[in-house]
Amino acid sequence: MARTGSSPVPAAQGVRAPWTAIPPHLRARVAELAGGGEVVEAVTQPGGFSPGPAVRVRTSTGHRAFVKAVSVEMNPDTPNMHRDEARYTARMPPHAPVPKLLGALDEDGWVVLVFEEIDGRNPDPDWDPDELRRAVAALAELAAVLTPPPLDAPPAAERLKRSFCGWSRLRAAYEEGRDDLAWLDPWARDRLGALVGLETESADLSHGTTLVNMDVRADNLLMTADRVYVVDWPWAAVGAPWIDLGFFVPSVWMHSGPERARIVTEHPLLADADPEAVTAFAAGLTGMLLERSSQPAPQGLPTLRGFQRAFGTASLEWLRTLMA
């Protein structure tokens, strides 16, 4: 667990089910998709919040793959996320730094995705400055590679209109007496009306022609000797090329503070973006995270709300600098 100032920052980790939770007949099919043989090694990967298994597997024939799976009993929403991720990653251009989908299984209440294994590692979320510069440069290059979008995905504005409504919900909860918002930073409480206005504008200011990931964090990056891969694409959308750097800013800030986050905010892709659009985006992201962090934990995701509170708090600090 890292720290920002005096506040502990929880890791981006949930509670993973083991490889053996997947039914035996589906595990056998995974081995076939991976290249043949039987799975003789399965090492759980802790990053991410899905309650389902996430494992690096090795077969008796020496083939390797990364497998992520979930059942509807574990969480009712995650299977559709896996289906969306399979649809988008299967259509990625081969030169994009995205792990290749080897196959997907969707049966018996389970969705199982099998990807090529990337011989890489997640970066330390506290971020070495040189490694962070490398990741930021890679995200900017990815935006160039994915412009124009190589596949059909919803507009980012459509996704943000559904998600960036946290300040509106918090204001309604306060006005209806359901939440006194005593937990919310006084700076934000005093500016609820302005934040609702910014949030409302955010979607319309996010238009663009770039395929974006919409969920960039350290645990969704894989660093190899010569590339930076971006994983987890269920939220793929078409929008402004700076959006992924916008999501990335508070992720870095909450672990490493504002000085390190400037490596992200000062990259030309984000620094040269329309400041009104970036401020509205930051407002929408902050409201979404803080409002969700105030809700009960979803089924099978006991650690998510604490992470969202830390993420939202960092996003609020970024937003304050943009509105200063």
Same-domain check for residues 52 and 177: no
Q: Which amino acid is at 197?
A: G
Q: Is residue 122 part of a domain?
A: no
Does the residue 307 lie in any domain?
yes
Number of domains in the chain: 2
Asked whether residue 135 falls in the same domain as residue 99, the answer is no
**What digits encode the pLDDT tens for the residues 118-161?**
999 999 999 999 999 999 999 999 999 999 999 999 999 999 99
Domain that holds residue 239: 129-323
Residue 307 and residue 224 share a domain = yes
For 237-263, the pLDDT digits (tens) are: 999 999 999 999 999 999 999 999 999
Domain shared by 14 and 163, yes or no: no
Among residues 72, 88, 116, the one where a domain terminates is 116
Q: Domain of 228: which CATH number?
A: 3.90.1200
Does 123 map to a domain? no
Q: If you ran DSSP here, which 8-state letter would residue 218 be given?
A: G
Q: How far apart are the first and last CA of the chain?
A: 30
Please indicate, yes or no, whether residues 141 and 30 belong to a single structural domain of this protein. Answer: no
Sign of the CA dihedral running 234, 237, 240, 241:
positive
In a domain, 124, yes or no: no
Within a domain: 224: yes
Tens-digit pLDDT profile for residues 156-186:
999 999 999 999 999 999 999 999 999 999 9
Of 307, 278, 305, residue with least CA distance to 294: 305
Q: Looking at residue 1, what is its pLDDT?
A: 37
Question: pLDDT tens-digit profile of 58-99?
Answer: 999 999 999 999 999 999 999 999 999 999 999 999 999 999
The answer to whether residues 164 and 312 belong to one domain is yes
Q: Which residue, of 116, 146, 169, is where some domain finishes?
A: 116
Residue 28: give its domain's CATH number.
Answer: 3.30.200.20
Q: To the nearest whole number, what is the mean pLDDT of the chain?
A: 95
Residue 212 · residue 156 · CB < 8 Å: yes
276 assigned to some structural domain = yes
pTM of full prediction above 0.85? yes
Residue 6 has pLDDT above 60, yes or no: no
* Residues 223 and 309 placed together within one structural domain of the fold: yes
Say yes or no: 104 and 167 in one domain.
Answer: no
CA distances 16 to 170, 301, 302, Å, are 31, 9, 11
Residues 203 and 104 reside in one and the same domain? no
Query: Which of 78, 93, 116 delimits the end of a domain?
Result: 116
Q: Is residue 294 part of a domain?
A: yes
pLDDT of 278-288, one tens digit each? 999 999 999 99
138 shares a domain with 105: no
pLDDT of residue 7: 58
317/175 same-domain check:
yes
Residues 160 and 185 in one domain: yes
User: For residue 159, is it within any domain?
Assistant: yes
Gap between the Cα atoms of 159 and 198, Å rounded: 16
Cβ neighbors of 318 (< 8 A, separation 6 or more) are 249, 250, 253, 258, 261, 265, 282, 286
CB 50 within 8 A of CB 303: no
